[in-house]
């Protein structure tokens, strides 16, 4: 099955429109650690309950879809770390013998973004939330393919994002520390159109990445290159137009 | 343009399982059909100043090999225990198809947060996380990375975390990865660990019962937590027990409560039946999500009553093993698998519904299974409805004869 990217939307602090991203893709620069995208489209109650990551993921999701797509696309929300900073905050509260806020608990689960999106977009379609260490973007693409394969006439909204890990764990992971999000609205391509994917094993260790995998993919998408490859610790994923 | 879906067989070719009832399927099955609730035990270490019942996995767990020490946490040790009976079959498959053709899809909602709690407590006292802690233990994707590295697999390996539907979704993804030809076999299942974070979180949401969970009873007061792991070897073989139906929906309703009219649950069950190409009256047994909360049981029974003119025999296995959260969807698919596996002479042994017998008259009526009951052999269904409004229903079918 080949997949077509019908539309995309990305966010990082200072990179808020397509022209800014086109410039970044041609000439990437260090991304900001923080920043807060606009989520004025959300009702105030939902807006208050968004974690920093949920804010980013909902921002790019809503900027990637028209009203009909928002309500009907299946979704994959992917993040290596998810809302782990909120989990750490709760673990610290427990270690001090304090009780937990039911609202913080229910809005820090890995699929909190998916739940908030479903409520805000009135979307009742299939939805998955995944994580895959240093292969999170590649596996998110495959998971989106599984949803498209179960509903080949439908569209699948793939949303991926991260915020930097809290200081207590940040030194334990070697990767770019930035706040960013990318949404890709995907559909099954006809014939040789679109992008095909293939997988291969690997044995040599991975080099530390300069830019997040998902944004490297965005650079491929906005270029005229025919082939793009990502290597994780255990395998390679190859995208070909 | 019509884009036909490519369908292929999807065999659940092997099962490994650990939970409160035991350490392997042969130990678990007789206790399951006897409705043995004695393996649920009292715990006072999960929530400060509160004793609660929980379905804990008893006894020492296997040791994580030294080379994978950075993955050493209770969640992965239970995963290792569940994998043990599948080990030889996986090794054979790996050499037959190649390590890059075997994928891993694991559900979890806790990953290694139990061990992170210990590390954070240590840090509150000493300023340091402690030498045993590594981020690989805590991150959600770690459970899939652990399985892939342990079994020396190089296919795609990822974790699904959609709360209580994670394990069911892992099986749904496994089938689709096979249909897409992205791999030739999948290690698919789910593991979740009893821990302070989920116990205190669900308790703060006021859905944890002080007594044993009592699904469908007028006296039900909430859920009993549990832990465990259930893992399948999933292949494209046409022999053996088959995964034939997947239905899925989002609720668009509330982060921690189901839509009271059960619309999401109904859509998920109808989707699984349509995917399997089955009329509702073909279902021989339905494993309820059946958490024993006021809201879940009411909406689930209402949804069942709208789909089935005469609902099939139903039961919740939560009073026997607790609610294993992210593992529940795989665990209960495992219970369906065990029932189909033990069928003989066209008769399907049914898993009993353990409760106080005081059926809530407000619930839409569904027939609840008594100890020793059987049904004519046929397809079986399991429901998983997750926090955040994520629903998944599965249909398994016995081997064609």
Q: Domain for residue B6, yes or no?
A: no
> Any alpha helices (H) in chain A, and if so which ranges?
18-26, 44-49, 52-64, 67-72, 84-95, 102-106, 112-121, 136-150, 167-170, 213-221
Which residues of A, range 8-37, sit inside 8 Å of B by Cβ? none
Percent of chain A with pLDDT over 70: 98
* Domain stop point among B184, B202, B235: B235
Burial string for B327-357 (b: 16+ CB within 10 Å, else e) reads bbbbbbbbbbbbbbbebeeeebbbbbbbbee
Q: Mean pLDDT across the stretch A11-38?
A: 95
Q: Mean pLDDT across the stretch B217-246?
A: 97
E strand or H helix that includes residue A4? strand A3-12
**Chain A residues with CB inside 8 Å of B276's CB?**
none
Q: From the list A84, A142, A152, which residue is nearest B177 (CB)?
A: A142
Mean pLDDT of chain A: 95
A172, B205: Cβ pair inside 8 Å?
no
Task: Please say whether the beta carbons of B316 and B290 come within 8 A.
Answer: yes
Residues B132 and B248 in one domain: no
Residues B74 and B101 in one domain: yes
- Tokens 């059946």 correspond to what residue? B290
Task: Please say whether the beta carbons of B43 and B53 come within 8 A.
Answer: yes
Residues B89 and B173 in one domain: yes
Does the pLDDT of residue A19 top 60, yes or no? Answer: yes
Q: How far is A87 from chain B (nearest CA, A)?
A: 8
Q: How does pLDDT run across B276-310, given as a tens digit for each residue?
A: 999 999 999 999 999 999 999 999 999 999 999 99
Q: What is the pLDDT of residue B1?
A: 46
Q: Mean pLDDT across the stretch B12-41?
A: 98
Task: Please say whether the beta carbons of B255 and A106 come within 8 A.
Answer: yes
Q: Domain for residue B2, yes or no?
A: no
- Tokens 């998916």 correspond to what residue? A114
- DSSP helix/strand/coil, A58: helix
Residue A214 neighbours by CB under 8 Å, 6+ apart: A137, A160, A180, A182
Range of the domain at B365: 242-397
Residues B69 and B140 in one domain: yes
A132, B172: Cβ pair inside 8 Å?
no
Task: Please say whether the beta carbons of A102 and B204 come within 8 A.
Answer: yes
CA nearest neighbour of B315 among B278, B284, B271, B347:
B284
A105, B204: Cβ pair inside 8 Å?
yes
Q: How far is B373 from chain A (nearest CA, A)?
A: 35
Residues B61 and B105 in one domain: yes
* Domain stop point among B235, B253, B282: B235
Percent of chain B with pLDDT over 70: 98
Strand partners, B225: B54, B323
Q: From the list B140, B179, B252, which residue is nearest A131 (CB)?
A: B140
* Domain locations along chain A: 3-192
**Chain A residues with CB inside 8 Å of B107's CB?**
none
Task: Please say whether the beta carbons of B301 and B206 come within 8 A.
Answer: no
- Tokens 């649950």 correspond to what residue? B265
Q: What is the pLDDT of residue B120?
A: 94
Does the pLDDT of residue A240 top 90, yes or no? Answer: yes
- DSSP helix/strand/coil, B92: helix
Token pair recorded at residue A95 = 């270690």
Percent of chain A with pLDDT over 90: 88
Q: How far apart are the first and last CA of chain B?
A: 37
Does the pLDDT of residue B2 top 70, yes or no? Answer: no
Q: Domain for residue B222, yes or no?
A: yes
Percent of chain B with pLDDT over 90: 96
Residues B223 and B249 in one domain: no
- DSSP helix/strand/coil, B100: helix
Burial string for A81-94 (b: 16+ CB within 10 Å, else e) reads bbbbbbbbebbbbb
Residues B42 and B118 in one domain: yes
Q: Mean pLDDT across the stretch A99-123?
A: 97
Q: What is the pLDDT of residue A203?
A: 66
Q: What is the CATH number of the domain that holds B349?
A: 3.40.47.10
Q: Domain for residue B391, yes or no?
A: yes
C-alpha dihedral sign at B69, B70, B71, B73: positive
A149, B98: Cβ pair inside 8 Å?
no
Q: From the list B124, B158, B179, which residue is nearest A95 (CB)?
A: B124
Q: Distance between CA atoms of A177 and A171, rounded to whole angstroms? A: 10
Q: How far is A34 from chain B (nearest CA, A)?
A: 21
pLDDT band at A173 (very low <50, low <70, confident <90, very high): confident
Q: What is the pLDDT of residue B336?
A: 98
Q: Mean pLDDT across the stretch B228-245?
A: 97
Residues B90 and B172 in one domain: yes
Which residues of A, range 70-99, sit inside 8 Å of B by Cβ? 75, 80-82, 84, 87-88, 90-92, 94-97, 99
Q: How does pLDDT run across B131-142, given as a tens digit for each residue?
A: 889 999 999 999
Q: Distance between CA atoms of B398 and B276, rounded to whole angstroms? A: 13
Task: Please say whether the beta carbons of A33 and A177 come within 8 A.
Answer: yes
A125, B250: Cβ pair inside 8 Å?
yes
**Domains identified in chain B, total number:** 2
B388, A114: Cβ pair inside 8 Å?
yes
Residues B275 and B342 in one domain: yes
C-alpha dihedral sign at B354, B358, B360, B363: positive
Which residue would you say has higher pLDDT here, A75 or A203? A75
CA nearest neighbour of A118 among B259, B269, B288:
B259
Q: Give A195's DSSP letter.
A: B
Residues B295 and B383 in one domain: yes
Residues B248 and B381 in one domain: yes
Residues B171 and B282 in one domain: no
Known catalytic residues of B are 164, 289, 323
Q: How does pLDDT run across B347-369, given as a tens digit for each residue?
A: 999 999 999 999 999 999 999 99
pLDDT band at B6 (very low <50, low <70, confident <90, very high): low
Q: Mean pLDDT across the stretch A93-121?
A: 96
Q: Domain for residue B1, yes or no?
A: no
A5 touches chain B (CB under 8 A): no
- DSSP helix/strand/coil, B181: coil
* Domain stop point among B235, B262, B292: B235
Q: Domain for residue B4, yes or no?
A: no
Q: How does pLDDT run across B330-351, given as a tens digit for each residue?
A: 999 999 999 999 999 999 999 9
Q: What is the pLDDT of residue B259?
A: 94
Q: Distance between CA atoms of B111 and B107, rounded to whole angstroms? A: 9
SS (H, E, C) A69-128: HHHHCEEEEECCCCCHHHHHHHHHHHHCCCCCCHHHHHCCCCCHHHHHHHHHHCCCCCEE
Q: From the list B144, B176, B205, which residue is nearest A102 (CB)?
A: B205
Q: CATH homologous superfamily for A3-192?
A: Thiolase/Chalcone synthase (3.40.47.10)
Question: What's the maximum distance between 2 C-alpha atoms anywhere in chain A?
Answer: 60
């Amino acid at each position: 099955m080949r997949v077509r990217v019908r539309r995309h939307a990305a966010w990082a602090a200072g990179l808020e429109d397509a022209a800014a991203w086109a410039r970044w893709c041609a000439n990437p620069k260090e991304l900001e650690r923080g920043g807060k995208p606009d989520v004025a489209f959300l009702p105030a109650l939902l807006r208050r309950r968004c974690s920093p990551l949920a804010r980013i993921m909902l921002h790019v999701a809503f900027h990637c879809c028209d009203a009909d797509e928002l309500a009907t696309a299946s979704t994959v929300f992917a993040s290596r770390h998810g809302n782990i900073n909120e989990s750490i905050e709760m673990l610290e509260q427990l270690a001090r013998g304090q009780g937990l806020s039911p609202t913080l608990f229910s809005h820090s689960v890995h699929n909190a973004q998916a739940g908030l999106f479903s409520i805000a977009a009135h979307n009742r379609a299939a939805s998955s939330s995944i994580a895959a260490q240093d292969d999170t973007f590649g596996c998110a693409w495959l998971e989106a393919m599984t949803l498209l394969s179960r509903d080949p006439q439908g569209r699948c909204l793939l949303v991926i994002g991260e915020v930097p890990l809290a200081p207590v764990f940040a030194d334990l992971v070697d990767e770019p520390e930035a706040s960013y999000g990318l949404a890709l609205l995907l559909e099954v391509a006809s014939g040789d159109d679109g992008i095909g994917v293939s997988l291969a094993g690997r044995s040599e260790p991975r080099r530390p990445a300069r830019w997040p995998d998902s944004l490297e993919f965005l650079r491929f998408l906005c270029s005229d290159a025919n082939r793009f490859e990502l290597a994780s610790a255990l395998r390679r994923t190859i995208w070909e137009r | 343009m019509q884009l036909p879906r490519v369908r292929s067989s999807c065999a659940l070719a092997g099962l490994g399982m650990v939970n409160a009832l035991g350490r392997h399927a042969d130990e678990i099955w007789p206790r399951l059909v006897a409705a043995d609730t004695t393996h649920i035990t009292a715990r006072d270490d999960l929530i400060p100043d509160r004793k609660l019942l929980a379905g804990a996995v008893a006894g020492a767990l296997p040791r994580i090999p030294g080379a994978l020490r950075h993955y050493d946490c209770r969640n992965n040790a239970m995963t290792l225990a569940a994998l043990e009976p599948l080990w030889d079959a996986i090794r054979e498959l790996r050499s037959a198809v190649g390590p890059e053709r075997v994928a891993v899809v694991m559900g979890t909602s806790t990953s290694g947060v139990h061990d992170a709690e210990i590390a954070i407590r240590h840090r509150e006292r000493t300023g340091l996380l402690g030498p045993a802690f590594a981020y690989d233990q805590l991150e959600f994707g770690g459970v899939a990375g652990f399985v892939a590295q342990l079994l020396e697999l190089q296919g795609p390996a990822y974790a699904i975390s959609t709360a209580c539907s994670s394990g069911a979704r892992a099986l749904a993804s496994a089938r689709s990865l096979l249909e897409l030809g992205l791999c030739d076999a999948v290690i698919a299942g789910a593991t979740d660990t009893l821990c302070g974070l989920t116990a205190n979180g669900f308790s703060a949401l006021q859905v944890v019962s002080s007594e044993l969970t009592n699904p469908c009873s007028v006296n039900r007061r909430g859920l009993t937590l549990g832990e465990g792991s259930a893992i399948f070897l999933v292949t494209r073989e046409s022999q053996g027990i088959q995964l034939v139906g997947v239905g899925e929906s989002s609720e668009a309703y509330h982060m921690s409560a189901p839509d009271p009219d059960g619309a999401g649950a109904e859509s998920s069950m109808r989707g699984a039946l349509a995917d399997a190409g089955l009329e509702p009256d073909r279902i021989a047994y339905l494993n309820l999500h059946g958490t024993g909360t006021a809201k879940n049981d009411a909406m689930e029974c209402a949804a069942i009553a709208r789909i089935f003119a005469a609902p099939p025999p139903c039961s919740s296995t939560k009073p026997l093993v607790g609610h294993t959260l992210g593992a529940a969807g795989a665990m209960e698919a495992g219970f369906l698998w065990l029932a189909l596996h033990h069928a003989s002479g066209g008769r399907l042994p049914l898993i009993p519904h353990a409760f106080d017998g005081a059926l809530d008259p407000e619930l839409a009526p569904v027939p609840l299974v008594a100890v020793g009951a059987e049904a004519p052999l046929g397809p079986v269904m399991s429901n998983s409805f997750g926090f955040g409004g994520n629903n998944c229903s599965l249909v398994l079918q016995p081997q064609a004869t």
